[in-house]
């Protein structure tokens, strides 16, 4: 015999256990795309309290559709160590190019991040940041259906030592921070520079190069890094996205642990991942 009330109690009690543990974090990751999930996985493996807030029901960002709904993605050989670390199967295409099934890749990233201990709260939008003493100190959240319906419902707050904007092209967290607080960013112009047109090689380089802290407590990774710093888009090639997630995890670990060298934290993250 199945009790409908017990089912309801089980879901609500277990969810709120998870939700309460996501209210005070070392790192709040906004966006469950490839860079966000990779960063969350390495941070969780290093023992940090990390939660990912994803506005959609599904995780994986733009991976699922591959290129133009052909569900394959491309990576170069510089990202193969991350694919192997996450247990993602790939095949060589030639001259340093490799392909992976998009559905398999998206699923593996989510599995490894949650297996490591990262909490994922989906259908949850970040509509603002906590801003205290000149730095970003957390995020302000509301259920995505409430936002979509335009209902007048007050949000709730999550405290976080660091916040990672991994929202992709929209770079939503950086935009709301600049719009509401009129802050100057750590970019060439001090402002959001905007994403440039497609150029895969330059786009991959820009994503990796510009991954990092753009304002005290606020980091960017993946396409958010390109959009904030004026990098090119790169389409369905994902190595730079994965490397960006790993790089920002190292930077955040260095900040949390008070290390002087970013590569020390990156080595610690890699060691913790094995």
Question: What was the pLDDT predicted at 272?
Answer: 43
Residue range 11-56, pLDDT digits in tens: 999 999 999 999 999 999 999 999 999 999 999 999 999 999 999 9
Model confidence, pTM = 0.94
Between CA 239 and CA 250 the distance in angstroms is 17
Residue range 187-211, pLDDT digits in tens: 999 999 999 999 999 999 999 999 9
The mean of the pLDDT values for the chain is 94
Residues 6 or more apart whose CB falls under 8 angstroms from that of 11 comprise: none
Domains and CATH numbers, the chain: 4-273 (3.50.50.60)
Question: What was the pLDDT predicted at 137?
Answer: 98
pLDDT band at 157 (very low <50, low <70, confident <90, very high): very high
At residue 181's C-alpha, the angle toward residues 180 and 184, to 5°, is 125
Burial of 148 (0-12, 13-18, 19+ CB in 10 A): exposed
* Complete DSSP assignment for 108-177: HHHHHHHHHT-EEEESEEEEEEEEETTEEEEEEEEEHHHHHHT-----EEEEEEEEEE--GGG-HHHHHH
Residue showing tokens 């939503």: 172
Comparison of pLDDT for 234 and 259, the residue scoring more: 234
Instruction: Please state, in angstroms and as integers, the Cα–Cα distance from residue 122 to each residue in 26, 75, 115, 213, following that order.
Output: 19, 27, 16, 25
């Amino acid at each position: 015999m199945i009790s409908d009330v017990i089912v309801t109690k089980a879901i609500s009690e277990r969810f709120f256990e998870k939700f309460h543990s996501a209210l005070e974090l070392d790192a709040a990751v906004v966006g469950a795309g490839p860079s966000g999930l990779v960063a969350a996985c390495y941070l969780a493996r290093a023992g940090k309290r990390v939660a990912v807030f994803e506005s959609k029901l599904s995780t994986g960002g733009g991976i699922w559709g591959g290129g133009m709904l052909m569900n394959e993605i491309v990576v170069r050989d510089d990202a193969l160590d991350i694919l192997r670390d996450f247990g993602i199967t790939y095949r060589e295409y030639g001259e340093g190019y490799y392909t992976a099934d998009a559905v398999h890749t998206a699923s593996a990233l989510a599995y490894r991040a949650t297996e490591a201990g990262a909490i994922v709260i989906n259908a949850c939008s970040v509509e603002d940041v906590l801003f205290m003493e000149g730095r970003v100190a957390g995020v302000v959240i509301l259920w995505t259906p409430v936002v979509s319906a335009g209902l007048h419902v007050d949000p709730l707050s999550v405290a976080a030592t660091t916040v990672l904007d991994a929202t992709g092209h929209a770079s939503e967290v950086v935009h709301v921070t600049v719009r509401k607080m009129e802050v100057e960013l750590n970019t060439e112009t001090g402002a959001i520079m905007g994403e440039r047109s497609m150029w895969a090689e330059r786009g991959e380089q820009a994503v990796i190069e510009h991954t990092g802290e753009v304002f005290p407590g606020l980091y960017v990774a993946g396409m958010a890094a390109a959009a904030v710093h004026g990098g090119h888009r790169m389409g369905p090639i994902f190595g730079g996205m994965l490397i960006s997630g790993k790089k920002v995890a190292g930077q955040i670990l260095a900040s949390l642990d008070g290390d002087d060298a970013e590569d020390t934290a990156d080595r610690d993250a890699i060691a913790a991942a094995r």
